[in-house]
Amino acid sequence: MNEQFESICIKAIDAVLSQKYSMDEYSLNGNKESSVCLDRMADNWIVYEFEHGVRFDLVRYDTIIEACFEMIRRMCGKNEVYKMKTDFCTRLFLDSKLTA
C-alpha cells in the first residue's frame, strides 16, 4: 500500500481511539511506556504492548488495516469492537474520498 493510504489509516485510527482513550494509553508510531503500540517493521505492521522497556504480545500483519483492527481489539471491550471497527472504516472511507 502507498504512504498516502497508510497516513490516512493512521489518521483514522487515531480519530477513533482518541474519542475514548487517552494518548497515554496507545502509540501509533512505536514504543511508548505502558501502551498498546503500532509500528512499521520492514514490510510489515506490528502491534504490541510495551512495558518496562520490553515489547510483548507482538503480532505481525501484512497490512495496516489488519494492524488497525488489532489495535481496536486490544483497546476495546468485546461489545465495543464492532462499533469501533465500523467507525474506523467510515473515517477511512471519508478521508480517502477527501484526498482522491
The pLDDT of residue 40:
95
Does residue 51 have a pLDDT over 90?
yes
DSSP reduced 3-state for 76: coil
Instruction: Please name which of 73, 72, 79, 74 lies closest in space to residue 19, comparing C-alpha atoms.
Output: 72
For residue 17, give the DSSP letter. H
The pLDDT of residue 65:
94
Q: For residue range 65-92, list pLDDT tens digits in order.
A: 999 999 999 988 766 887 888 888 888 8
Q: For residue range 2-33, list pLDDT tens digits in order.
A: 889 999 999 999 999 999 899 999 999 999 99
Rounded CA separation 34/78 (Å) = 21
pLDDT bucket at 99, cuts 50 / 70 / 90: low
Q: How many residues in the chain? A: 100
